[in-house]
Structure 1
Amino acid sequence: MKSIVGNRLAGLLASTTGAVAVRASKVLAWNALRLGFQLVWAIALARTLGAEGYGIFSGVAGLAVGLSGLVGAGLGLRMYQDAVTNPAVFDRRWAQAKRALAWSGLFLGSAFVAAAAVWDFLPDATIVLFVAVAISELVMAPAVTLIAFGYAAKGRMADSAMAPALLSLARMVAAGVFLLAPVGATLSSYAVLHVAATALAVLLLTWQFRRTVPIGSASSAVDSGDIAIGMGFTSIWFSGAALGSFDKAAALHWGGAVSAGAYTASHRFASLLALPVEALLMTALPHLFKARFEPENGWGVIVKLLLATTGYGLLAGVALWWLATALPWILGSAFNESVEAARVLAWYLPVFCLRSLAANILLAFQQKAWRFSSEMGALLVLLVLVASWAPAGGGVAPAKALLMTEMVLMLAMWARVLPLFWKLRTGTQ
């Protein structure tokens, strides 16, 4: 499956994205590896924990991953954008981003655990799980994102894609160890392995980054102006992360662990199939940043990306529909509900691909307020729909809620992108 999807996307890119496709080839290779690592991780974890345990872990992890959008105060993404257009500012922006990452991660991780201790919002999860997830997803894993941004800011897009792939590899190994553990291994014991794997990946990536990317000394001082600018970036980073992760926690809270596990498993496969488009858009983001200043080329880049994302989204949707019936065989009979949920998400994939393209265009064209308000409004719609449908709808209810939400969000974003595209096409941007 992985090679078929990768080959189809490679052919599509070659015919539609020109120079961007050449730069995307290595990124695609790393993301294909990442896809494979995450696929094995998900299967091993689901088969070991069952639908209930997998749903509990995914719900807690989803809540933390959503909050991780606040870690770093947006200064990592600011570094990426500024260094692309002015490489001389890299050292200063890197120092600021690294400092902000440290204090914000510790603060949010502590707050996450404290909230879990005093507010029983996910009663099936233990405090040990909350602590482990806080350390891995709020304190350590954001460093991988910062390293990926650092590589991308230097134009090293393949290395940027390598960073999250290595993290996925480490976690796959942890899940494999857990799968082979003696009978009686618990969710809490896997949580410890998850932390250890994340720590190992962060240490290796940090060593590799320092060895290959020269960084000069610069002040790491962050003033109120830096925070104000960073908040513009962190708002959209948070809203995007929350929209892509809070659904698991909501499914666990309102639908129960088994239904959450079935939904999360189907969503995991949908997310894996969407990874090649994320690779393409990550590679194309510097071109989109420059498109505002190069209208003669910018509109062509957007058209090619539109063709690529639409074509791949349709192919991915067909693939997920076809694969849906195999999910109980791959994951175990406890995941029978995943079949119907996956077929709903097959319709979601092309919508998600088009929405992701629009979101990146809004970011590149300094339309952060529109993107943030659209995503936060969509998040509210999603939570309301899950709360209304999940108690009686099983694992398919969150999938239907997500599909409806993504359709609304896609329309809201393209309503803003199309006027921008027209201005670019006519040279009035």
Structure 2
Amino acid sequence: MRLGWLATNTLRVTFWHSLRVLCQLAWVLLLARALGVTGYGTYSGVAGLAIALSGLVGLGLGLRLYQDVARVPELFALRWHEASRGWMLSIVPVALLFIAIGKAMFPQQGWDSLVLIGMAELAFSPWIAQVASAYAAHSRVSAAAAVPVVGSVGRVCAVACFLFFVPGQDLNAYALFHACALGLATLILVAACKRSFRPARQKVGLGWESIRSGLGLSTVWTSAIAWSSLDKTFALRWGGDHVAGNFTAAQRFTSLATLPMEALVASALPRMFRRGAGSDEHAGMMPALLCAAIVYGAIAAVAIYLVSDAIPWLLGSDFTEASLAARWLALYVPASCLKVLLVHSLLARGDVRWRIATECAGLGLMVCGMLFLLPEHGTLGAVYALTIAEYGVVALVSVRLIVTRKWT
């Protein structure tokens, strides 16, 4: 049986996402056992803040590279150099902002861990994302899916070296290994990307039009990243390291179930961009993707509920609360699968402002929920807040697509 382009690439992307899932699972298992529930919660909360701010690094020009090169491949060299220049101009201000906010939210946190975590997530991770965008923009979605796997392997190597060389639960020592591993992975990926596409040397000056366009997309990227990372930061801030550790463990296990849906959307995104630009190809693609999201979300929710009891066995008895949290988070999985598709549909159609508005509204709902529910319900309070906010975003985006008749 001959498979179509989308099916073939989805299988390839799913393969790489499966490797990424295995690496992330190994990383979570090793890191949780290495740092304990409190150390793991502290690291996740601080790293979540850095990851949320990493969307500002590069001024959104990496996502502009993806959008424009997917439509006009000849623009690659120009957009690559613009994105690189944007990283150079933005990295120092964003890093200083992270340290200032981090010290204000977590005054007990040492400078060493803040700087090292910031270096890993603000300096190196955006470059990895830019390389993935370069491959995806050329419709090499399989290679684009392989790029994050290299970063995930680096994380596993970091925690393995930490366990081998450093006795005890020293967060600063792990942060050093983590930053070095991501730095090495970034150097390898950037060198391979340049060798593949050989962008011509250009003297690039960023004009206001380029910065304005990039900042618009940067807001999209930042809101999306903030949505998936700040929940750990808020859990640490208002629930403490024990609550943050259990909630993060449950949320990370649950998020693994949504990766196949992310693989499917990542495979379809170049075509979604072309349809958003006016192309009439593959008219039945979006309804098919919607059906896939609904069916897969229901199946994944059942799977998460059934395997949730394995979390304490995998991570240790300190993570008993994470098992109950994962069972409740099974309700969150169908909404998460739908949201992945719906928000990318808005992006592909150019409805950037509405996507930003809905994700910010959902983030505000999550913040309010955690602020009021965490003190009384602990780990489950964070779960309730996240689930309610996720369904709220799905409802808002669905209304927008139906009213504007952009679901085609």
Fold equivalence (TM over 0.5): yes
Quick one: distance in 1 between partners of 2:47 and 2:396?
28
Extract unaligned runs of 5+ from structure 2.
none
Partner residue of 2:61? 75
2:98 is aligned, of 79, 102, 112, to 112
TM-aligned CA deviation for residue 424 of structure 1: 6.3
Alignment correspondent of 2:112: 128
Aligned counterpart, 2:49:
63
Q: Matches of 2:326 and 2:18 in 1, distance apart?
A: 21
The 1:164/1:253 distance shift into structure 2, 3 A limit, reads same
Per-residue deviation, residues 311-346 of structure 1 (Å, max 9, x unmatched):
221121111111111100100000011011101111
Instruction: Give the share of equivalent positions with the same residue, in percent.
Output: 36
CA distance 1:354–1:208, shift in 2 (3 Å): same
Alignment of 1:287-366 (within 5 A): 287-293=271-277, 296-366=280-350
| Structure 2 SS opposite 1:90 | helix
Letter of the structure 1 residue corresponding to residue 324 of structure 2: E
Q: Is the 8 A contact 2:49 2:102 kept in 1?
A: no
Structure 2 match to 1:377: 361
Q: Is the 8 A contact 1:299 1:424 kept in 2?
A: no
- What secondary structure does 2:109 align onto? coil
Q: Does 1:41 align with 2:39?
A: no
Q: Distance in 2 between matches of 1:208 and 1:295?
A: 32
2:72 counterpart residue number:
86
With structure 1 as the length reference, what TM-score do the two structures score?
A: 0.91
Which residue of the partner structure matches residue 13 of structure 2?
27
Instruction: Indicate the residue corresponding to 1:176 in structure 2.
Output: 160
Q: What corresponds to 1:8 in structure 2?
A: none
Which ranges of 4 or more aligned residues in structure 1 deviate by more than 6 Å? Answer: none
Alpha carbons of 1:423 and 1:109: their partners in 2 closer, same or farther (altered >3 Å)? closer
Deviates more, 1:99-108 or 1:138-147: 99-108
Partner of 2:173: 189
Name the SS of the counterpart of 2:257 in structure 1: helix
User: Which SS does the other structure have where 1:125 is aligned?
Assistant: coil
CA deviation string 1:127-180 (max 9, x = no partner) = 211111110001111100000001111221111111111000010111122233
Determine the C-alpha separation between the residues in 1 that align with 2:100 and 2:48.
Answer: 17
Give CA-to-partner distance per residue, 1:162-211, whole Å, 9 cap, x none. 11110000101111222334533401110101001111100111121122
Give secondary structure in 2 for the equivalent of 1:160.
helix
Which is worse superposed, 20-29 or 377-386? 20-29
Determine if the alignment matches structure 1 residue 211 to structure 2 residue 195.
Answer: yes
Post-superposition Cα deviations, 1:39-91, rounded to whole Å, max 9, x if no partner, equal 00000000111110000000000011011111111111111111111111111
Deviation, structure 1 residue 309 = 1.6
Q: Distance in 2 between matches of 1:129 and 1:156?
A: 36
Deviates more, 1:124-133 or 1:318-327: 124-133
Contact 1:129 1:191 in 2 (8 A): yes
Contact 2:46–2:102 (CA under 8 A) maintained in structure 1: no
Does the CA contact (< 8 Å) of 1:96 and 1:219 recur in 2? no
What's 2:130 paired with? 146
> Aligned residue for 1:165?
149
Q: Is the 8 A contact 1:174 1:193 kept in 2?
A: yes
SS in 2 for 1:366: coil
Match of residue 276 from structure 1: 260
| CA apart distance, 1:213 | 1.7
Corresponding residue SS for 1:246:
helix
Aligned equivalents of 2:330, 2:393: Cα separation in 1: 17
**Structure 2 match to 1:286:** 270
| Matched-pair contact (CA < 8 Å) for 2:277–2:349 | no
**Matching residue within 231, 244, 250 for 2:234:** 250
Is 1:53 equivalent to 2:17 in the alignment?
no
Q: In structure 1, give the amino acid aligned to 2:276.
A: R
Query: TM-score, normalised on structure 2?
Result: 0.96
Contact 1:92–1:219 under 8 Å retained in 2: no
Contact 2:16/2:149 (<8 A) preserved: yes
Quick one: distance in 2 between partners of 1:193 and 1:393?
A: 35
1-side partners of 2:168 and 2:72: how far apart? 55
Question: In 2, distance between residues paired with 1:159 and 1:47?
Answer: 32
CA distance in 1, matches of 2:367, 2:154: 32
What's the counterpart of residue 83 of structure 2? 97
Q: How many residues end up aligned between the 2 structures?
A: 408
State the one-letter code of the partner of 1:339: S
Code of the aligned partner of 1:407: Y
Aligned-residue CA RMSD in angstroms? 1.7
- What is the DSSP-based 3-state SS (H/G/I as helix, E as strand, rest coil) of the residue aligned with 2:205? coil
Cα deviation for residue 296 of structure 1 reads 4.6
What residue is the counterpart of 1:262 in the other structure? 246
SS in 2 for 1:173: helix
